[in-house]
Structure 1
Amino acid sequence: MAVGLAMLFIAGEGALRGAIGLAQKLGVSPAMIGLTVVGFGTSAPELVVTLDAALQGQSALAIGNVVGSNISNLLLILGVGAVISPLTCEAGAAKRDAGMMIGTAIILVALGMTGEIVRWQGAIMVAMLVGILFWSYRCDRRTQKKAAADKAAADRAAAEAAAEAGTDPDDIHVKELEEVGEVPQNIWVILALNIVGLAGLLFGAHLLVDGATGIAYRFGVPQSIVGLTLVALGTSLPELAATVVAALRHHTDVAIANVMGSCVFNVLSILGITAIVQPLVISPDIQAIDLWVMLAASLLVMVLLIRACTIGRFGGAVLLLAYVAYIGSMAVRFVPAI
């Protein structure tokens, strides 16, 4: 567990630098890379665990892992990130990412009410993900072109003002250049950081999940609580590592997009792919409680983002308290079963 946790944070640093560098090379925003490359990469542990659980006939563990991971992403991970450094993003990105997150949460709740996710529904979910990624890329490219045009106009105005004041125009961009200097520019280094960073996140999560679940089973904790808490938290640790590193480096747009993207991937790709391989049965307790907690957490985060495009430290503390309350309620729910 200790080695896995250390590996997560080291790999998170590499993955963040690689993501920012890749965004610069492709001409898209870091948020877009967070939504796609980092979002999918950090969701890979959930995919592995969910597929394995489904193939072993443990649908409660599989569904609980995804639902619990989304709850952890929204309440714990965003909460921790916001307490470290207020999380901000562009208004367009906030509406786009939060809208997709809410949409996928509603889809999962609707499927949950039927009691199962079958193969044809899984295929539609995967197709929806492909469409969402294509649409997000098109929107991001338009936003980037407009931002580039606005920046060019601002740079011209700043250069004219600097010339009138008799200062060096290059001094205006010292901070920006220093920040860019932390990011690799060589494409092979960028690709290596992304691949090695994401691989490190996966392997670190695997070590930690194995340790945590081994302890849980040793003490006779039921499968449901393992899926919704320890396994969900363990497979969410790559998102936590990536978000903490992004918050410390003040790349908060990547932090938010990483969590939003992970929630979307969890529902559409992980449950979609798993349902295609092995149809999933949703247990009554997850139907009655946890799906609604996930939807409420999604709505809370959406309100915080849409209202001011920022989750401040107070908002982060509220999210953390909500997560603590959820875990506390879990103990009450499962003590009789134990």
Structure 2
Amino acid sequence: MAYILLIIGFVLLIKGADFFVDGSSNIAKLLRIPSILIGLTIVAFGTSSPEATVSIIAAMEGSSDVSLGNIVGSNIFNLTLVVGIAAFIFPLKVENETIRKEIPFTLLASAVLLILMGDVALQGISDNLLTRSDGLIFLLFLSIFMYYVIEVALKSRGKSSDEKIPADIKWGKNILITLLGLAGIIIGGQMVVTNGTEIAYSLGMSETLVGLTIIAIGTSLPELVTSIAAALKKESEIALGNIVGSNIFNILFVLGASSLITPLAVNGKVFIDVIIMILLTVLLLVFSRTNFKIGKREGMTLAIVYIVYLVYIILRN
């Protein structure tokens, strides 16, 4: 029964995120917010909302290993398999701003996470914790990123002001879709955490492993679906921008909010995963700088890296 409920939870999460992105994107159009702002914020936040819900619920229920493992696992999945599959379908063109600012900001967020986790090594205390003050630091970094996004949006404001809004985009319908999406995300997130941890215990898996694998892959499905859809439509900037934006939101907003609600105990094994996440972000930056695109060869390499990583963490458990 737990397996069926887990699948139902994932379906609710994915469809909820889909509804949330569609509804809120249309509301943004009605408000005449520039499309670049929609891409960097609403789409990225929408596809990160399953991770946010799962990690916050897990933190409130005291499952800090699931909360942290979900974020690190999701980011690694995004950097490898999601980018890899999207690039294999259609080579991803990389914007200059993405190379100069957005990917380095993802790298900065990952480095901040590694530093704030290292209480034993840096402060000589007995346990590694992401405390409430650490949560505030994450949220402050998020506010810097949001300031950058708003500045970019204001520069491009003139481009969207003349765009005509399709007649079928209505306020009432899109508010309803957004609220239904949000409800699906919250209910689905609760089901995924409860049943995912139950399955983990019954199989003798650790909470960290289930967070890094089952839950991380499940909550990253919206990013996978969005990026594949964008690649198939040859909108490669959206495919890569969605991943970079989602990874920034995952660390700064999700872990910031989770650790602000309740301090998160850090499992020692996660340090290796965070270092792998940082190295993969550097690899993505290197691939991005080669002819300003991520081609099929790089995509295949990233996909193989994820399979190797998956085998490693299962054997490590």
TM-score interval for Structure 1 and Structure 2 normalised by the shorter chain: 0.7 to 0.9
Answer yes or no: is the 8 Å Cα contact 2:17–2:46 preserved in 1: no
Equivalent position to 1:219, from 179, 195, 203 = 203
CA distance in 2, matches of 1:144, 1:306: 28
Question: What whole-Å deviation, never above 9, does each CA across 1:26-63 have from its counterpart, x for those lacking one?
Answer: 66654432321122222222222222322333322221
Equivalent position to 1:121, from 134, 151, 155 = 134
Indicate how the Cα distance of structure 1 residues 193 and 245 shifts in structure 2: closer, same or farther if over 3 A, else same.
Answer: farther
Instruction: Determine if the alignment matches structure 1 residue 111 to structure 2 residue 94.
Output: no
1:304 corresponds in structure 2 to 287
Residue identity matched to 1:131: I
TM-score when normalising by structure 2: 0.81
1:137 corresponds in structure 2 to 150
Using the TM superposition, name which of 220-229 and 304-313 deviates more.
304-313
CA distance in 1, matches of 2:194, 2:205: 15
Q: SS of 2:290's equivalent?
A: helix
Give 5+ residue unaligned stretches, structure 2.
Answer: 1-5, 120-127
2:247 corresponds in structure 1 to 263
Equivalent position to 1:285, from 261, 269, 273 = 269
Indicate how the Cα distance of structure 1 residues 311 and 121 shifts in structure 2: closer, same or farther if over 3 A, else same.
Answer: same
Please give the root-mean-square deviation of Cα atoms over the aligned residues, in Å.
3.2
Q: CA deviation at 1:330?
A: 0.8
Q: CA deviation at 1:129?
A: 0.8
Answer yes or no: is the 8 Å Cα contact 1:205–1:238 preserved in 2: no
Q: SS of 2:222's equivalent?
A: helix
Answer yes or no: is the 8 Å Cα contact 1:77–1:240 preserved in 2: yes
CA distance in 1, matches of 2:172, 2:287: 38
Answer yes or no: is the 8 Å Cα contact 2:106–2:247 preserved in 1: yes
Q: CA deviation at 1:105?
A: 0.8
Residue identity matched to 2:278: L
Equivalent position to 1:321, from 280, 298, 304 = 304
Residue identity matched to 1:121: D
2:225 corresponds in structure 1 to 241
Instruction: Determine if the alignment matches structure 1 residue 39 to structure 2 residue 44.
Output: yes
Q: CA deviation at 1:320?
A: 0.7
Question: What whole-Å deviation, never above 9, does each CA across 1:272-322 have from its counterpart, x for those lacking one?
Answer: 1121221122121112x1111110111111222233332222221111111
**Length, aligned pairs only:** 304
Indicate how the Cα distance of structure 1 residues 188 and 264 shifts in structure 2: closer, same or farther if over 3 A, else same.
Answer: same
Answer yes or no: is the 8 Å Cα contact 1:8–1:241 preserved in 2: no
What percent of counterpart residues are identical? 30
